[in-house]
Amino acid sequence: MIIDMHMHIWAPEYIPSKMRYSWARLAANRKFPFRNPDDIYPKVSVNYSDPQGTYTMAEMEQAGIDVSVSMLVDYSILCGEEAEVPLVKVMESYSQLQETYQNRFFAFATVDPRRENAVEILEYGIKELGLKGLKLYPGAGFYPADEVCLPLYEKCLEWNIPVTYHTSTVQAPLIQRYTHPIYISDVQSKYPDLQIILAHAGKGHWWEDAVSIAASHPNTYLELSMWSEIAFKDMKDFHHKLEFMRDNVGAHKILFASDNCAGAATEGNKSWLPRWVQVFKDLPETAKECGITFTQDEVNLILGDNGRRLLNL
């Protein structure tokens, strides 16, 4: 079984307009001469829109992925506005997709813990909608161990569901300091039994810190979304870093994931997802070229067995 533990199903109306405009501004200033963000804004996320899951299922078939798990971000407090489709309505749409694509699609609930009714939103997502875990995005402006987060962890323990944190760099208006994996150590200390997933495994400058955090707690997992960028650029570098993760954390605590956002932009031969899956299928052979040994059992754990255990599938 192959489980993608971190992908997205988006639509522009799921994202507050201020956040989409900030992405347009970043894109406009990425190269010189600069462009006008107003010209880019109407196009933001349009080609990665898939609210019915049609593109997602096609890409899963193409890549040989059995199960995908969608994550969501609550940008509302950071942006000072709700998206056109409010957070709870988006989670309801994910619940409907779980019904439509039974045993193939799951989603995590999310909520900014600073919302007054954060616990109620989480409870609705898990108990009423049947979502499979909690996704927190500290870059929206809070530390993982802030007091407002603790009631959410109590519920996660009560229901035996995992919590996923973004642990890589972010772009403005998101705030970098909150996303460093080191701050999850405070949560580990308070909650030794909490199932923790480090989304992106600190990709970038923090990946070794993420490894040390995962190694220090029996229930913390490294999740490899966005690591395709490293593998596709330098496979040898990726193999050595994955070996370091395996040797320090164990293959039983590493999760395959993509961060894929399906849509017209990734349709058919434009999809990179099959290539990313193939990296792991080929791992026992290709890693040998670097003098590294990965067993098929370890590959099976990473590609799906660990995710199946976490999700209680």
pLDDT at position 219 is 97
Neighbouring residues of 282: CB distance < 8 A, sequence distance ≥ 6: none
Instruction: Please report, as a single letter, which amino acid is at residue 274.
Output: P
∠ CA 206-208-212, rounded to 5°:
115
User: pTM of this prediction?
Assistant: 0.97
Euclidean distance between CA atoms 240 and 229, whole angstroms: 15
pLDDT tens digits along 142-191: 999 999 999 999 999 999 999 999 999 999 899 999 999 999 999 999 99
pLDDT tens digits along 14-53: 999 999 999 999 999 999 999 999 999 999 999 999 999 9
Neighbouring residues of 185: CB distance < 8 A, sequence distance ≥ 6: 213, 216
Neighbouring residues of 102: CB distance < 8 A, sequence distance ≥ 6: none
In the chain, the percentage of residues whose pLDDT exceeds 90 is 99
Average pLDDT over residues 86-99: 98
Tell me if the bond preceding 33 is cis, omega within 30° of 0: yes
Q: Identify the band that residue 194 occupies on the pLDDT scale cut at 50, 70 and 90.
A: very high
Euclidean distance between CA atoms 108 and 312, whole angstroms: 14
Would you say 89 and 121 are in contact if contact means Cβ atoms under 8 Å apart?
Answer: no
Residue located via tokens 């709870």:
88
pLDDT tens digits along 216-275: 999 999 999 999 999 999 999 999 999 999 999 999 999 999 999 999 999 999 999 999
| CA atoms in the 13 A half-sphere facing the CB of 110 | 27
| Distances from the Cα of 116 to the Cα of 122, 148, 151, 174, 180, angstroms | 12, 9, 12, 21, 25
Strand ranges of the sheet holding 163-166, from the earlier edge strand across to the other edge: 109-110, 134-136, 163-166, 196-199, 220-223, 254-255
pLDDT at position 283 is 97
Neighbouring residues of 37: CB distance < 8 A, sequence distance ≥ 6: 21, 24, 25, 27, 28
In the chain, the percentage of residues whose pLDDT exceeds 70 is 100
Sheet strands (E) in the chain: 3-7, 67-70, 105-107, 109-110, 134-136, 163-166, 196-199, 220-223, 254-255
Closest CA to 96 of 66, 63, 128, 65: 128
Q: Residue length, the chain?
A: 313
Beta bridge partners of 39: none
Q: Identify the band that residue 7 occupies on the pLDDT scale cut at 50, 70 and 90.
A: very high
Spell out the domains of the chain, with CATH numbers in brackets.
3-311 (3.20.20.140)
